[in-house]
Amino acid sequence: MGLSKLGLDRWFKNHIHELCGSKKNIARVVAIDRGRIMVHDGDNEFSAELLGNFFYAAESAAKFPCVGDWVCLKQHDDDSPDSAGFASIERILPRKTLLKRKTVGYNEEFQILASNIDVAFIVMACHYDFNVRKLERFLVMIHEAHIEPVLLFTKTDLISPEALQRLINDIRGADIHIQILAISNVSGDGLNQLRQFIQAKKTYCLLGSSGVGKSTLMNQLLGKDSFATQAVSDSGQGKHTTVRRHLMLLKQGAMLIDMPGMRELAVAEIKDGIEVSFSDILELAQNCRFANCSHNSEPDCAISAALANHTLNSEHYKNYLKIQKESRHHQKQTLFVEKRRKAKNASRIAPTKTQQRKQRKQVITEDEQNQS
Ligand SMILES: Nc1nc2c(ncn2[C@@H]2O[C@H](COP(=O)(O)OP(=O)(O)OP(=O)(O)O)[C@@H](O)[C@H]2O)c(=O)[nH]1
Ligand SMILES: [Mg+2]
Ligand SMILES: [Zn+2]
């Protein structure tokens, strides 16, 4: 059985006997597709269902299987009456690492991303996507899970080697000393170095904003177009093409998990990062005659002047507007969700007018019954 090629080591094996008995049907969760759990047993990939006890015992999302988990299976015999033609999951083996992120404005405080990851690649497109604060936020999340972080710059074909070096200097200047790899999916630069870096039997994942080239890289490493990719918009924003996490076995014998682009982490960070990424525009705007200048048709607008004489790049400016708009939209959304949640909680405590009327009626009928 090829379970060790999927990363099953002594650490997990020690738990199998005590948790799963002698049967030892073990598999790894490779994808969760609209509630259907896909597992791999080293030979085949197939779907497995959850036993009812999970739903009784699971008080939080962390108690349910996620991509990367090792699970004990009960195989249904084909001639048994309850055979569903596949296996059911009895237990989850303890996790070495669990990657989760804080969610904004939802009831569930954390979203579980994946488990048993050895190395997390923070994937950032170096021509557009990068800023130090965003990197720091990723690092907090990854360090919290005791996973090794590696920064993976993509799209190096879109900037000069000097510009790339400046980014690396910024990172070192911020006292961040993680390993940095830089690749281009277009020119192929850096891919061999990355292939050499990836070790057999280890599990890696791709974290980053939408459109930075995670799935394109996955396809490169797999040597085939297994995953859909999609062109980014003019401003470099991705379109959230990948919607599910998926663990794949690479030729090197390593496992790699492709993940959906992270909208919240990215947008929340864009809000913080606007001052850093677009400091030139913010500085220019200080010279507009009106403090609340919209830079459309006001007199003595420094932005309009700079656009007209090309000292301000119009693409750069459009990018700024777009990101600002998205960030405001996100803020409104978050406020809205938060408000709705508060209202919902409040309504749980305070009965509505109709409920009050019903309750009064009930009290009256109960009184009548008592009297009679
Ligand atoms: N110039 C350039 N374009 C790239 C590179 N890598 C990917 N792209 C392009 O960037 C776009 C987005 O790539 P995807 O692989 O779909 O990005 P993703 O990170 O998987 O995005 P989501 O699935 O939405 O999270 C595609 O049009 C790719 O062809 C690169 O190294 N250089
Ligand atoms: Mg993708
Ligand atoms: Zn202006």
Per domain, the residue ranges of the chain are: 4-92, 98-263, 267-349
Q: Would you state the structure tokens that stand for residue 287, as one six-digit string?
A: 């010279």
How far is residue 331's CA from residue 324's CA, in Å, rounded to a whole number? 10
**If DSSP codes are grouped into helix, strand and coil, which group holds residue 176?**
coil
The predicted model scores a pTM of 0.71
pLDDT value, residue 212: 94
**Residues 55-81: what's their mean pLDDT?**
77
Q: How confident is the model at residue 141 (pLDDT cuts 50, 70, 90)?
A: confident
Ligand 1 near 185 CB (within 6 A): yes
pLDDT value, residue 353: 58
| Local confidence band at 108 (pLDDT 50, 70, 90 cut-offs) | very low
Contact 152, 181 (CB under 8 A): yes
Pick the CATH number of 4-92 from 3.30.565.10, 3.30.70.360, 3.40.630.30, 2.40.50.140: 2.40.50.140
Of all protein residues, whose CA lies closest to atom 29 belonging to ligand 1?
A: 231
Beta-ladder partners of 87: 48, 75
Q: How far apart are CA 272 and CA 293, in angstroms?
A: 22
For the domain with range 98-263, which CATH number is right: 3.10.580.10, 3.40.190.10, 3.40.50.300, 3.30.930.10?
3.40.50.300
| pLDDT 10s digits, 158-210 | 999 999 999 999 888 777 789 999 999 999 999 999 999 999 999 999 999 98
Contact in structure between 255 and 203 (CB atoms under 8 Å): yes
* Higher-confidence position of 85 and 50: 50
Q: Which of 105-109, 135-139, 200-204 has the lowest mean pLDDT?
A: 105-109
Question: What pLDDT does residue 358 have?
Answer: 60
Q: 317: number of CA atoms within 13 Å, CB side?
A: 19
For a ligand 1 pocket test, name from 124, 194, 226, 229 the mutation site with the most ligand atoms within 8 angstroms of its C-beta. 229
Is the CB of 219 inside a 6 Å radius of any atom of ligand 1? no
Helix 263-277 to helix 314-349 angle, to the nearest 10 degrees?
130
Give the CA radius of gyration of the chain.
Answer: 26
Model pLDDT, residue 349: 47
For 267-295, write each residue's pLDDT tens digit. 344 444 466 557 778 889 999 999 889 99
pLDDT at residue 330 in the model: 60
Which residue(s) pair with 258 in the sheet? 246
| Mean residue pLDDT across the chain | 81
217: CA distance to ligand 2 center in Å? 9
Distance 302 CA to ligand 3 centre (A): 5
- Fold designation for 267-349: Ribonucleotide Reductase Protein R1; domain 1 (1.10.40)
pLDDT number for residue 360 = 58
Of residues 53, 52, 38, 42, the one with CA closest to residue 86: 38
Q: pLDDT grade, residue 240 (50/70/90)? A: confident
Map 258-273 to HEC letters.
Answer: ECCCCHHHHHHHHHHH
Token pair, residue 102, equals: 């804080």
Query: Which ligand 1 atom sits closest to the C-alpha of 209?
Result: 25
Which ligand is the nearest neighbour of the Cα of 289? 3
Residue 270's pLDDT is what?
Answer: 45
Ligand 1: atom nearest CA of 261 is 25
Q: What is the mean pLDDT of residues 15-37?
A: 83
Q: Is 326 in the pocket of ligand 1 (CB under 6 A)?
A: no
- Greatest mean pLDDT among 154-158, 321-325, 350-354: 154-158
**Residue 372: predicted pLDDT:** 44
How high is the pLDDT of residue 63?
84
Residue 32 pLDDT > 80, yes or no? yes
Phi and psi at residue 159, to the nearest 5°:
-135, 165
- Which one of 216, 230, 234, 239 would you pick to mutate in the ligand 1 pocket, going by the greatest count of ligand atoms within 8 A of its CB? 216
Rounded distance between C-alpha atoms, residue 99 and residue 111, angstroms:
9
Say whether pLDDT at 298 is over 80: yes
